[in-house]
């Protein structure tokens, strides 16, 4: 089966998603990045069955992710906590949970981000991988960064990635 045929065969897959915002400063009303992720997924026909806003604390982050993994979600998308400040705990927490890294995601995200923001792109530790049988994407908290990741990387491939996970 060619790559194009494989993409077409996965075009009808239903994807069950969780969105987790990791932030010490946002609440649900001000969580524009989390809202953008949820709305974009829904508009693309995916089910957003879980939304959590948690402090950027390792125990809170891992607990929210564990709920989604244990509930057999296909995809988890986090936002926030991927920078390099002392309060950015998402990256390290998820790195400890990821079984199979999807290193190309972070590389591509930073390349695309560089085209928009220049050398500041190196500050992002956006990452992706697999925890058990669930794909996880960790995005920065910036709505512009979330838009870039969703439109250029995640949405064009989400069904294909889930299809690969189910094989």
Encode pLDDT of 50-72 as tens digits: 999 999 999 999 999 999 999 99
Q: What is the pLDDT along the chain (167 residues), one digit of tens a residue?
A: 555 655 555 677 889 999 999 999 999 999 999 999 999 999 999 999 999 999 999 999 999 999 999 999 999 999 999 999 999 999 999 999 999 999 999 999 999 999 999 999 999 999 999 999 999 999 999 999 999 999 999 999 999 999 999 88
Beta partners for 19?
51, 77
pLDDT at 4: 60
Dmax over CA atoms of the chain, in Å, equals 48
Q: To 10 degrees, the CA torsion angle through 23, 77, 115, 95?
A: 80
Q: Which domains, and CATH codes, for the chain?
A: 14-152+161-166 (3.40.980.10)
CA 11 to chain centroid, in Å, comes to 20
Tokens for 25, please give them: 């400063």
- What pTM was computed for the model? 0.93
Report strand pairing: 127-131 vs 100-101.
Answer: antiparallel
């Amino acid at each position: 089966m060619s790559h194009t045929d494989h993409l077409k065969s996965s075009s009808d897959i239903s994807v069950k998603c969780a969105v987790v915002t990791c932030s010490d400063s946002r609440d649900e009303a001000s969580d524009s990045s989390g809202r953008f992720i949820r709305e974009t997924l829904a508009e693309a026909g995916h089910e957003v069955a879980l939304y959590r806003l948690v402090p950027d604390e390792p125990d809170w982050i891992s607990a929210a992710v564990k709920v989604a993994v244990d509930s057999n979600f296909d995809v988890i998308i986090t936002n926030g906590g991927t920078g390099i400040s002392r309060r950015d705990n998402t990256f390290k927490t998820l790195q400890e949970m990821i079984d199979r890294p999807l290193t190309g995601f972070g590389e591509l995200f930073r390349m695309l981000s560089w085209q928009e923001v220049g050398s500041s792109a190196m500050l992002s530790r956006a990452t992706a991988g697999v925890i058990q049988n669930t794909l996880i994407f960790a995005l920065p908290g910036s709505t512009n960064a979330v838009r870039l990741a969703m439109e250029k990387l995640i949405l064009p491939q989400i069904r294909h990635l889930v299809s690969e996970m189910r094989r």
